[in-house]
Structure 1
Amino acid sequence: MVITKTSDIPHYYLYIHPKDLHELRRDIWCDEPVPAKLKTNNMKYEIDFAYRGSLTRKFPKKSYYVRFIKHASLFGEQEIHLNAEYADPSLIRNKLSLDFFRTIGVLSPRAQHVLLTLNGKFLGVYLQLESVNELFLQKRGLPLGPVYYAINNDANFSLVSHHYNDAKKTLESGYERKCGTKSDDELLRELIYKINTIPRSSFSKEIAYYIDVDKYFRWLAGAVCTQNYDGFVHNYALYHNKQTGLFELIPWDYDGTWGRDCKGKMMEHDYVPIEGYNTLSARLLDVPHFRSRYCELLEEILETSFTLESLEPKIHSLMNSIRPYLVRDDYKKKDIQKFDAESEYITRFIVKRNHYLRERLSDLKQ
């Protein structure tokens, strides 16, 4: 997603008719969009504009969903997500995570900081997230196939509901189909069923017919390194690659990472175990040669990509690029001192997390 800049960061100017803006603000839980206009780089777009997120809707600074209408698109995108990143004092955790996943070979949405002005009022710095949809696949030269968003913690690869500790009502509970057809749902149901019913003696052979194990381990390593507590049963998308016939995982919404949770609270570096947690990971790591492969992959990442030398320049670059605009952001300028301290907080987490995972590797290898 190449974005042409007129300043350090792209600036989106939104206009919503006062009546429509009143309707939007009347109910923050309503997903119905209102008509709006977006202008950037002297180009104007007709859009649908709505709130997005769940927990984030309660925050003073809202996150938004934008869909371009009348066959228009912005930088090749038909829809975008504008995240306020309100709970993240650094505003970079999501982008840093998604970029990190890409460096370790995981399919990952692209993210870009932007500035947002609504009806003449500057709303501040936002993070534009690419949608995981048909266009996401086309831009990467991948075959079209169904994509499912993990929308709640029932997306735990189990037959048991995370919420009710009882059998799920349907095998696809916890997922929402983003693209594909209803007939594709059978592929998802079969995946969940097989994960839970293949005998231990034949699991390593049979599971390879359903999921790309190497890519899964890369995703698992990324979630473990960044310590996304929700990321193992939520905050991901499932893509079925029609060419390989296998499912792959794609990270999504990674603001609760790098030593903080989704509410911005401090999370100790050893909070999430090296194995992560969900049914699929447990079954895969129960197989000795799979466990050996995961250890080998994670060890390589801890030596190359998840290091202070690799990540610190990116952290400073991202934070330096958005800092000048935070002093104008009414929602963030009061926390500028906390923002300034976050680069050290994140780098300290990386050092401690790397050391913790290296120590646990020897136990996992046994």
Structure 2
Amino acid sequence: MSSARYLPHFGAGGPLVRHASCFVLLLAIARAENGTAPTQTAPGADLFTNSSVRRIRIEIRPEDVRALRKESRSYVRSAIYAEDEFYPEVGVHLKGSTGSFRGLDDKPGLTLDFGRFSSGQRFHGLRKIHLNNSVEDPSYVNEQIASELFRAAGVPAPRVTHALVELNGRKLGLYVLKEGFTEDFLGIYFKRVDGNLYDTDLGDAVDQRRTRQSGRDPGDEHAGLELLAEAALEPELNRRWQRLNAALDMDRFITFMALEVMACHRDGYTLARNNFRLYHDPDAKKVVFFPHGMDQLFGRADLPWKPHMAGLLARSVMETAEGRREYQARFGALFTNLFIVDRLTNRVNQIVGALRPFLGNSEFKQIEREAAAVRDRIVQRALNLRRQLAEPEPTLLEFADGIARLTGWTKIDQPAGGRMDETIDGRSALHIIAGPVTSASWRTSARLRRGRYRFEALGKIVAVKPLPFGKNQGAGLRIGDRMRQAFNFTGDSSWKRLDLEFQVDTDEEDVEFVCEFRASSGQVWFDKDSLRLIEIQ
């Protein structure tokens, strides 16, 4: 299947489409051909196409409250009042992961299943909605911005709006309202909705047995995923590319990867093997990835556009020459024609502005401040990506007798109340003085060939006190976002060797090296001459 069906190419794959209007036209044609554009007749259209904030009142009986306290993920019955409508016997359970989960007496995330106990009951045509407490996104805009980006690029993603929620007479405040992954959702994008939809909250899905969320073929419950897992692990790369294309909607997956990286979705599939859903389309007999849990975005402007891929399938695709070419072309086209800063920041303004009539002045001002930070992160991400994409391709790091020096260090996250500099006091060193809350680092990167390596440094610390949170404290080394060896180098110490072994499993990979300092006070020095990489035979 040609990737031009979704997006124009640039570079060797074809001419770069330079005007957004041309790109939008191509996307509109592709979305019309593939059913990837929600229409005004789609279930829930009225819920998501106007800017009204819904008022939802939830009543749960005392015995069901007790049941929820005991088993927060199990459905209990509730009654829902929304505007002038009453919905009896609605299933409700608590939702949220480690960072976002809150109990009933706090601001809980909630899933409402209107058809759970009352067959055929729908909320604006939808069986299921999620009410996200947005505790990890105080701007309340990230999920909506990201889902619109994915849909604009032809990747199915749930629609998003907002609601004011009340639970048993207690006003919980503003929530992000998101449609559920159900047959209602699938029907917008696929001709058939009876394929298997998989819940993947436990991590990488293609090489594990998964919980089937919906689907009508129990006799063939995991066949599609098993074929995909076998293709991903195919050792012969030309054969792998062919097998992956036979089992995976490759066009959508490459777009999915590129957008997750572009938006710095550091808790998604591509970078963290988390927050995604899978659908086995019975017509195409291919697996499609859906994004999920996009409440923390644009957090690191300098995230490489070709980072280490954590997801097995993402790594498998990028190990092939065809996959790397497709990803590069797709990333450039998306960045040029879809990641348009003015449009994105204006959309943030529109979303936040629509909340104004429904919120008190102080609450709205706080959300405005958080949204301004999101706009700034979008701007900084675009500026950094533009610089990255303009840079020439790096060459392989050269080793002499199995050793290479690491140079070109850059300071990241300078601590408030502290300092980062390069000192020469007997020996040249990378120096960090901690402020009250410090998570700072010196970083560089290099392109490596397949093999096993050891990253080495000499570190010295004085009066280092740990932070009151987190398991890694003091000074340590790590490899980008993919490998963090536990460390607790605190107190006082003369020069001590620090090292970390890792492996590169692809023919070539850009690897980021990090000299990290997490502390509430104290100083660290990393000897510059000792910062080196050793090839392990």
TM-score range relative to shorter protein: 0.7 to 0.9
Q: Which residue of 2 aligns with 1:130?
A: 179
SS state at 2:112 partner: strand
Matched, 1:39 2:81: yes
Structure 2 vs 1, CA of residues 7 and 271 (structure 1 numbering), >3 Å: closer, same or farther? closer
Match of 1:63 in 2: 109
* Mapping of residues 268-347 of structure 1, within 5 Å: 268-271=300-303, 273-275=305-307, 277=309, 278-327=311-360, 333=363, 338-347=366-375
Decide whether aligned partners of structure 1 residues 364 and 243 sit closer, same or farther in structure 2, where only a CA change above 3 A counts.
farther
Q: Does 1:243 align with 2:283?
A: yes
Q: 1:216 deviation in Å?
A: 0.6
What is the root-mean-square deviation in Å for CA atoms of aligned residues?
A: 2.5
2:298 maps to a residue whose letter is W
Separation in structure 2 between the aligned mates of residue 273 and residue 249 of structure 1, nearest angstrom: 20
2:86 counterpart letter in structure 1: K
* 1:42-121 equivalence runs, <5 A: 42-46=84-88, 47-55=90-98, 56-58=100-102, 60-68=106-114, 69-70=117-118, 71-121=120-170
Superposed CA deviations along residues 279-329 of structure 1, whole A, max 9, x for unmatched, are 32223223333322222221121112212122011100111222454438x
Please name the residue that 1:164 is paired with.
none
Q: 2:231 aligns with which of 175, 182, 194?
A: 194
C-alpha displacement of 1:190: 2.3
Q: Is contact 1:209-1:246 (8 Å) kept?
A: yes
Q: Is the 8 A contact 2:141 2:371 kept in 1?
A: no
Q: Could you say which residue in structure 2 is the equivalent of 1:176? A: 211
The equivalent residue for 2:400 is none
Q: Which residue identity is paired with 2:306? A: I
- CA shift for structure 1 position 213: 1.3
The CA distance in 2 between the partners of 1:12 and 1:123, in whole Å, is 10
The two structures have a TM-score, normalised by structure 1, of 0.83
Residue ranges of structure 1 left out of the alignment (5+ in a row): 158-170, 260-267
Shift of 1:63: 0.3
Report which of the two has the higher share of helix: 1
Does the Cα contact within 8 Å between 1:292 and 1:365 map onto a contact in 2?
A: no
The one-letter amino acid paired with 1:256 is Q
Count, aligned residues:
336
Secondary structure of the 1:243 match is coil
- Does structure 2 retain, via aligned residues, the 8 Å contact 1:274–1:360? no
Contact 2:59/2:167 (8 A) holds in 1:
yes
1:14 to 15, 34, 58: 58
C-alpha contact 1:211 1:246 (8 A) present in aligned 2: yes
Greater displacement, 134-143 / 221-230: 134-143
For the 8 Å contact 2:200–2:274, the answer to whether it is kept is yes
Partner of 1:256: 296
User: What SS does the corresponding residue of 1:82 show, helix, strand or coil?
Assistant: strand
Aligned mates of 1:237, 1:99 — CA distance in 2: 17
Structure 2 CA distance for partners of 1:365 and 1:309, relative to 1, 3 Å: farther
TM-aligned CA distance change 1:81 to 1:358, over 3 Å: same
- Are positions 1:150 and 2:200 aligned together? yes
- Equivalent residue letter for 1:52: K
Please show how residues 216-231 of structure 1 align to structure 2 within 5 Å.
216-231=253-268
Asked if 1:357 corresponds to 2:385, the answer is yes
Instruction: Looking at secondary structure, tell me which structure has more strand per residue.
Output: 2
Contact 2:224 2:286 in 1 (8 A): no
| Equivalent pair of 2:262/2:305 in contact (CA under 8 Å) | no
Identify if the C-alpha distance between structure 1 residues 337 and 128 changes in structure 2 by more than 3 Å, giving closer, same or farther.
closer
Provide the residue aligned with 2:534 in structure 1.
none
SS of 2:349's equivalent in the other structure is helix
- In 2, the alpha carbon distance for the partners of 1:316 and 1:195 equals 41
Distance 1:365 1:129 in 2: 41
Of the two structures, which has the highest relative contact order with CA contacts closer than 8 Å and spacing of 6 or more?
1
Measure how far apart 1:257 and its partner are: 1.3
